[in-house]
Amino acid sequence: MRVWDGINRYLAFRLKELEFRVQTWKRSREISRAYDTPSTRRQKAVSADYYTFRLRIMAGVKLIGVALALFLVGFGAVKLVAFASSAMSEYAENRAPAHADGKAAAADKAAEAAEKKASAAEKKVAASAARKVTAAAKKAVAAEKKAADAAKKALLAAEKKAAAAEKKAADAARKALSAAEKKAAAAEKKTANVAKKALSAAEKKAAAEKKAADAAKKALSATEKKADGRGQAAVVDGGPDSGDGGSLAEPEPLPGLSDDSGLPETAVLPEGYSSPAASSPAAGAPAAPAQPANKLVEAFQGAIPRGTSDRLILVNKAAKQMYLLKPGPDGWDVARAFPVATGENDGRKVVEGDKKTPEGVYFIVGRKHRSELTHMYGPAAFITDYPNEQDRREQRTGHGIWIHGSERGNLPPFFTQGCVATSNPEILEFASLMGRDWAGTPVVIVSGEEEARKHLASVDFGAIKTRRSEVISHYNEKQAEFEKLVNGWKAAWESRDIEKYSSFYLTSSFMEGSTKWDAFRDRKNRLFNAYSAIYVDLSNITLTEYTENAATVKFHQVYNTNVGNKMENAKRLIFRKDQGNWKIYREIPFPKEELL
């Protein structure tokens, strides 16, 4: 009995030890969870599962060992009883042969009884041990399952909280971005409305000015007809407006234009106007021209060979007239005549600042729109290639000779410092007649004081045709080059790759309005990350100005995103050459109506 009691106590001790370890493990889990953070629960849940699995294996191994020990003890007890019975039988046979049979029978019975008792005890012990082991195992499994369920619930709750927090942050970011975009769109719309109102007012004013100019033109035509009837030379007033003694200083930029919305520093501004008071002719000065202006025009109409050009501009400095000539069925026709102002001093331009308009054959190589000009130059301007090759050979200097509008809107008598200027309504009409095919248009500027045949003799129409082809070919080549460059910039924009997009910019000196490169790049990067798709549609891509180190490209742009943030405007990209490569130096939006 002592052996069995010892075995039972040993088994009870081991079971209590196992229960204590499970309770200790559960308590440590609860303490660890109390100090745990959501970010590490998943990892620790995995570690707890692994540790629970190890405990389960160790408990199973121990229980198997205990069961095996109980079996060996029972088997030994049976063998011991059998051995004792055998020994007693031998002893009885040796010591009491007379009672051998009775004692043997008694011994056999005792042995059988002992064996039965041992078998029953063994079965009882084994059954009890098995029940205890099964119960302990069930408790351990239940505890593990409960702990695993709790860990899963905690992990799921943590994940839900994290997802909710992320969604909330994303919604807040989207709302903030949408609000910012709405504000930007409202501001842009407001600016566009202001620009439209200003444009409408300017157009109304231009219409009134045109009306006044037409009246003046009729009066001038009547005067010329009267002079022709008397055989006298037509007189054109080239002096300043005596009613205005103020200075024609260059005005401030148009409202809504930033300081950097003008030309690149390497581009050339036109020569400005002189003061009317300073440019007033002396009293009693003889009038010009010496012959009627129409004689010169008639001479050119009959002498220009067909195929020279699809149009030609003739400027008569003395008559202060500019004629747009186009080929007709019977020669060249005057499509339109415009009164103009030219340089204050007579004669051919020689040096910069001599206030003379050049004379010779030039070509239009550039076009400027309203947003690029202060009101001194009107709503449009066309750039000539003065000084040309002959001027450079003869060492003539100066720059930026334009055909442009007027500071005053209409065209009272005044002088320029070398440009050819007309009224604002007429420069707009001239621009409309020129269309988009202005590049390479010949401009013949003559003094108008000599006989028509002398002017014709000075013009080489064969050279005009050749030079025009060269100018147009060069322009088309550069147009294709910049059109490809702009389309590459558009593709990088649509790709939302900030590094690829940045490669098109002169990052060391780029500005958009008052925004420098770093702030511009950060804003673009935020927008790239906010949208899953950006769509940019470009049309009317036009190279409007080109020098060796600077160029201007304009186009109509429609911008859209995957969430429908659509914007439409015109844009001007100003390029500069940096280490042999063209880079965007300025990016300037302007009203689309101006371009279209």
pLDDT class of 62 with cuts at 50, 70, 90: confident
pLDDT at residue 289, rounded to an integer:
38
pLDDT class of 334 with cuts at 50, 70, 90: very high
Query: Among 232-236, 321-325, 516-520, which stretch is predicted with the lowest mean pLDDT?
Result: 232-236
Rounded distance, CA 584 to CA 520, Å?
13
pLDDT class of 481 with cuts at 50, 70, 90: very high
Among 121-125, 136-140, 318-322, which range has the highest average pLDDT?
Answer: 318-322
Mean pLDDT of all residues in 64-84 = 84
Rounded distance, CA 318 to CA 338, Å?
14
Report whether pLDDT(285) > 60: no
pLDDT at residue 442, rounded to an integer:
97
pLDDT at residue 261, rounded to an integer:
36
**Burial classification of residue 145, based on how many CB atoms lie within 10 Å of its CB (0-12 exposed, 13-18 middle, 19 or more buried):** exposed
Query: What integer best gives the mean pLDDT of the chain?
Result: 78
Tokens found for residue 289: 């021209």
Among 114-123, 256-265, 273-282, which range has the highest average pLDDT?
Answer: 114-123
As a whole-number percent, the residues of the chain with pLDDT over 90 amount to 41
Q: Of 487 and 117, which is predicted with more confidence?
A: 487
Rounded distance, CA 366 to CA 369, Å?
10
Mean pLDDT of all residues in 485-506 = 97
Q: What are phi and psi of 173, to 5 degrees?
A: -65, -40
| Of 270, 281, 221, 272, the residue nearest 250 (C-alpha) | 272
Rounded distance, CA 372 to CA 361, Å?
26
Report whether pLDDT(172) > 80: no
Q: Confirm if 338 and 426 have CB atoms less than 8 A apart.
A: yes
As a whole-number percent, the residues of the chain with pLDDT over 70 amount to 71
pLDDT at residue 229, rounded to an integer:
40
Q: How many residues does the chain have?
A: 596
Report whether pLDDT(279) > 70: no
Rounded distance, CA 415 to CA 426, Å?
17
pLDDT class of 111 with cuts at 50, 70, 90: low
pLDDT at residue 595, rounded to an integer:
82
Report whether pLDDT(97) > 70: no
pLDDT at residue 44, rounded to an integer:
64
pLDDT at residue 208, rounded to an integer:
63
| Of 418, 422, 367, the residue nearest 391 (C-alpha) | 418
Model confidence over 383-420: pLDDT tens digits? 999 999 999 999 999 989 999 998 776 765 677 889 99
Q: Which residue has the tokens 């010591």?
A: 95
Rounded distance, CA 376 to CA 402, Å?
12
Rounded distance, CA 205 to CA 372, Å?
20
Helix, strand, coil percentages in the chain from 3-state DSSP, rounded to 5: 55, 15, 30
pTM > 0.75: yes or no? no
- Mapping DSSP onto H, E and C, the string for 143-155 reads HHHHHHHHHHHHH
Q: Confirm if 553 and 507 have CB atoms less than 8 A apart.
A: no
Report the SS3 class of residue 512: strand
pLDDT at residue 575, rounded to an integer:
97
pLDDT class of 17 with cuts at 50, 70, 90: confident
pLDDT class of 238 with cuts at 50, 70, 90: very low
Q: Confirm if 494 and 389 have CB atoms less than 8 A apart.
A: no
pLDDT class of 287 with cuts at 50, 70, 90: very low
Report the SS3 class of residue 279: coil
What is the Cα gyration radius of the chain?
A: 52
pLDDT at residue 581, rounded to an integer:
96
pLDDT at residue 354, rounded to an integer:
92
Rounded distance, CA 543 to CA 527, Å?
29
Mean pLDDT of all residues in 90-117 = 66
Q: Confirm if 4 and 76 have CB atoms less than 8 A apart.
A: no
Model confidence over 515-563: pLDDT tens digits? 999 999 999 999 999 999 999 999 999 999 999 999 999 999 999 999 9
Quote the longest CA-to-CA distance of the chain: 191
Q: For the chain, what is the total number of helices (H) and then of strands (E)?
A: 11, 14
Query: Among 103-112, 314-323, 501-510, which stretch is predicted with the lowest mean pLDDT?
Result: 103-112
pLDDT at residue 493, rounded to an integer:
97
pLDDT at residue 202, rounded to an integer:
58
Rounded distance, CA 370 to CA 411, Å?
18
Instruction: Concatenate the DSSP letters of all residues of 29-76 into one string.
Output: HHHHHHT--HHHHHHHHHHHHHHHHHHHHHHHHHHHHHHHHHHHHHHH
